[in-house]
Structure 1
Amino acid sequence: MHDHPAPAPFPFEALRRFPDVEAENLQAYDATDRLLAARGLEEAAPRGLDGGDVAVVGDAYGALTLQLAAAGLRGLRVHQDLVTGRAALARNAEALGLSGTFVPCELGPSLLAGARLVLAQLPRGLAELDEVADAVARWSAPDVTFIAGGRVKHMSLAMNDVLRSHFAEVSAGLAVQKSRLLTASGPLTVPDRPPFPVCAAHDDVGLTVCAHGAAFAGPRIDIGTRFLLGFVDRMPSGRAVDLGCGTGALAAAYALQHPSAEVVATDRSAAAVRSARATMEANALAGRVAVEHDDAAAQLGEASADVVLLNPPFHLGASVHAGAGLKLIAAAATLLRPGGELWCVFNTHLDYRRALQAQVGPTEVVGRNRKFTVTRSVRRG
């Protein structure tokens, strides 16, 4: 009997969120990443699985993928929704000497065809879980094991019900360091067409909105966006950018109101981009509005826009944090030509007006209701 040296502990402290927002209370990993990786390796070894048999979904900054790669799995297929997460994974892999150990994929057959083990960070929303579970049942191997983990405080029994609608066997593990794993197997027969995107007509604003599972607010129009829609007819016509477009309602409304305008919608979420493209198709705007997967419109040129539309988020994952909104305000300032206009809606308590004034230019309040404020900022020369 020979003693084998224990593998070196994974260097979690080396992982970064960059280029996403970084702060003391925001980490690049959590206990669920550890739990999922340990369970995944336990599952892979006796079944003789290699990296090509394994798909990873929802790995925020690479902590899950890179633990598996460090343990020797190669050719892992990985889907991350956020473009910032994709960049962080690539940077973290390079820093740890693990570049080339995984293949980035979109949610679909390229990610899941023939997969026998799928490891996922549980999404917060049931619609997103429904879309992921349908995709796993639809495209993976018949003997696939789907293991999804999350923080106990964000989990609900409804998640088990969603999984049972797609798999014959679903079980919940014990909580470990406030995280828990759900395991599903025996994929059920799926309908001919995937259930997403879901589309809904909003006759009061003349739009049809389409959404994939991870898109904020689904096919509804959130109340902040709805408030800003009431000002589209007051906005100048020109090259417009819907920054953080979500399902694309603002871009679509602007394009319909200003038929000669060039419109670009951009979001860091792949699900939002797919949703916005479906929204443009539903409103006969597919040839007029370009939808791009980008972090804060970084690929668009400086001083290239006449108008920017912005409904900034005030959450980063499960944390309330103004960093994402402030980042988009700074991006809007870069995008606008001198004299260009930023039209922004935000929760009044956030008081973004100071940042708008400092980053963009003279800012006036053009509308306010019980919860939201709409401002117009003019880019200083």
Structure 2
Amino acid sequence: MTLAQAVVDGADPEELARLEVPSSFRAAHTRKDQVGVFGRVPHGTDGVDKDITKSVHVGEVPMPELAPDEVLVAVMASAINFNTVWTAMFEPIPTFAFLERFGRTDPRHDRDFHVLGSDASGVVVRMGAAVRHWRIGDRVVVSPAYVDAQDPITHADSMLGEDLRAWGFETNYGGLAEFAVVKATQLLPKPRHLSWEEAACNMLCASTAYRMLVSPRGARMKQGDVVLVWGAAGGLGAYGVQLVRNGGGIPVGVVGSEEKADLLRRLGCEHIVDRSQFEHLDDEKAWRAFGAEIRRQVGEDPHIVFEHTGRDTFGASVYVARRGGSVVTCGSSSGYAHSYDNRHLWMKLKSIVGSHGANYQECHEVNRLLSLGMLQPTLSAVYPLARTGEAARAVQLNRHVGKVGVLGLAPAEDLGIEDHALRERIGEDRIRTFRS
């Protein structure tokens, strides 16, 4: 019996420890020799379609050795994040540049392939000599921050570390594979009432949203705050909506279709702005109309704007935030070069808060909320590993809601559920909101 099959069969820890680690495994990856295949014209330029089904490959890659502080996880499921899309488009720079730089201190990562994926759930099958808190057979989820525990600033906030990396994006051997290499400081217990794919889709987006809104390092949301959430039916925004509601805030979700608006209503978001009515948010006249619609619905301007779309929306975000309000941003999926009218920032005492990922404690808090059933997965679709390119393509073209999952070793969906009683108390309709 192979180690992978033993994991699927639910073998005990002694059996898993006895079986040999394979010399190679299947993984979704990009190839260094394809860098430049799409040319240098940015994706989205008229007539340019960087179809990432051509650059995401699924095949055998060699198994690396473990470092003392690392764990080998047999991946049962994973999920697509936008960093996978950037990687496969080789934008804004090819991620092989990250791996080459990392390879100067850890040559294992500088290879002619890049195994993708920054989310995963699975089973611990091997541990480095320095790992203390985990055992073979433990069911885990993986958080995405790959940090240097010997950097002093890490013990204040690991997101400030000089050597911080996004696992599966700035490192090799990510989660879209049968096996993944992770640091022990990335692991958290898998929520027992969730399936493998439901558990796998949360950590990157949910923890990012938590830091942006709830953490003292973010926007410090308080009860009653009006929070404008861009892309509110997407992987990041849907967690933002849930966290705002949980914390006593008033979410205002921005979506582009009635289908997505209906999804938000099922999440309990009462105030919804149809972005298609404000297609060109590139001047103050459009910003005024957008702000007027928010005020029409909730009677006031947002205390917080939850930003991650970037160039196309940032000017509007700065404008509509109330006097003394804040724009908290963690990304720029529509482009990095933002333009906004700075008068509306300084003269109305607004602030822009940069937020990146989440530290281990913040990830722990998010996983606790998930484990208690206070935060629900946003999984909408699941693909087999062989079709990872199609899954990533759906995200690239925004043909999805919530999160798109990918099965690793799990042979089917809806496996891995242990606490059926808790699941019943929460309700299938709530857990599967995005699947319906």
Q: Same fold (TM over 0.5)?
A: no
Q: Which has the higher contact order (CA 8 A, sep 6+)?
A: 2
Higher strand share: 1
Q: TM-score, normalised by structure 2?
A: 0.27
